[in-house]
Amino acid sequence: MATKDEVKLIGTWASPFVARAMIALNLKGIEYEFLPEDLLNKSELLVRSNPVYKKVPVLIHGGKPVCESSIVVQYIDQVWSSSGPSILPPTPYDRAIARFWSAYVDDKLIPQIRVLKWGEDENSKAEAKEQLFAAMLQLEEAFMKCSEGQSFFGGSTIGLADITLGSCLSWLKAIEIISGINYVDGRKTPLLVEWAERFCSHEAVKHVLPDAEKLVEYRKDFKIRRAAAVAAASK
């Protein structure tokens, strides 16, 4: 039987959404058991824990599941409020701003990354490239305002917007390897380049974000396995 303090995380190493939960747990110094998931052969535990979306990550705390990465990160911050730095700022206004830019990343970056990662249509990929560049320029301006000259979107410590954007960095690098296009460019977004270096070198982050070359290989393998699964299902 699960104890009230038992923490488990269902996820896959290549998922930026799972990385968010891992970084938050690390920031708070919370020990947890990682339960690797095969997204092409989903486990009964995942389906039972997240029956609505059947997606990772799922945080299981004391036997109770918490789903969706942004909700998981904020849950971690609230439950272990006395451990480690606060992920959300103390004032309602600053919390609203952090949530706004976190949602911006999910609305404006993640769909474009998904197209560039998995898409085959060249017109769609060209449009995604333009939108991704525009979003990065917007985030450069947001960082300048939110950080107020400090190291992170959250000020002197990593916050919600840092975790949400930072979780995408490995896939942005992988897409650069695949396409030859750099989306975190020192000429266009110099503040984000410096921020990314600080974020990736942080103790809570540096052993979480996957190597970009491994993500490129993961992408190839996943596409092959997915095609095989589709072909098998159509027989």
Tens-place pLDDT, residues 27-67: 999 999 999 999 999 999 999 999 999 999 999 999 999 99
Q: Is residue 106 part of a domain?
A: yes
**Quick count: other Cβ atoms within 10 Å of Cβ 21?**
31
- Output the domain CATH number for residue 168: 1.20.1050.10
**Quick count: other Cβ atoms within 10 Å of Cβ 106?**
15
Q: Is residue 171 part of a domain?
A: yes
Contact 86, 35 (CB under 8 A): no
The average pLDDT across 95-103 equals: 98
Q: Is residue 48 part of a domain?
A: yes
Q: What is the pLDDT of residues 101-135, one digit of tens each?
A: 999 999 999 999 999 999 999 999 999 999 999 99
Gyration radius from the chain CA atoms: 18
**Given pLDDT bands bounded at 50, 70 and 90, which one contains residue 188?**
very high
Domains identified in the chain, total number: 2
The pLDDT of residue 1 is: 32
Whether residues 145 and 35 share a domain: the answer is: no
CA distance 192 to 198: 10
Is the previous residue joined to 85 through a cis bond, with omega within 30 degrees of 0? no
Whether residues 72 and 98 share a domain: the answer is: no
Question: What is the pTM for the complete model shown?
Answer: 0.95
- Output the domain CATH number for residue 24: 3.40.30.10
Instruction: Name the residue range of residue 112's domain.
Output: 92-214
Q: How distant, in Å, are the alpha carbons of 8, 67, 163 from that of 3?
A: 11, 19, 28
Whether residues 100 and 192 share a domain: the answer is: yes
Q: Is residue 197 part of a domain?
A: yes
CA distance 107 to 127: 15
Q: What is the pLDDT of residues 62-82, one digit of tens each?
A: 999 999 999 999 999 999 999
The pLDDT of residue 167 is: 98
Dihedral sign (CA 47, 52, 54, 58)? negative
**Given pLDDT bands bounded at 50, 70 and 90, which one contains residue 187?**
very high
